[in-house]
Structure 1
Amino acid sequence: RSALAAGGQVSLHSPSGPVSLLQGGHVTAALRDAMSLEHAVYEASWRAELLSPAEIVKDGMLWIPPGPGLGATLDGAVIDRRGKRWRP
């Protein structure tokens, strides 16, 4: 808000996966005059399995699902099967 109030523009960068893309989409949709949301999609063949409903990017637009919270649910079985534990 402070960037917009000062006449600046905001463009979120969301390369970390479908959850961060969805939260970035919500924030971008809520900001007046926000710029495009930069994102990476389809870099993993199983990415669409992570969320229900799966993320949809069509004609350059991210569909924001209705519902509580982010509007989507993580599939714990996919995380157990495909996830990796990162340690510093």
Structure 2
Amino acid sequence: MQLGRDIIRYPAPPITAIEILSPTQAYDSLTSKIRKTYFPSGVKSAWIVMPSVKSIQLFIPDQPVKWFTETIFSDPVNGIELDLKMVFR
């Protein structure tokens, strides 16, 4: 990569996509984006972080959605673990 040149479009999809649900955002639009855009393009896991209810939802293709609240959040796709009591202090 040359110094001073931005990568406009990365050639590979990210392993994980993280969405943060804002108070004015529709939940259904985020789940639709995950299922219809992220997963078909190769993303392996996606999170919806919901600060208002202090929880994170984990989406993995062809698996049921998992809800995490006041516990250890664990994404087996990328190995990330988060203590939600610390995240949502």
Tell me the TM-score normalized by structure 2.
0.33
* Bigger share in helix: 1
More strand by share: 2
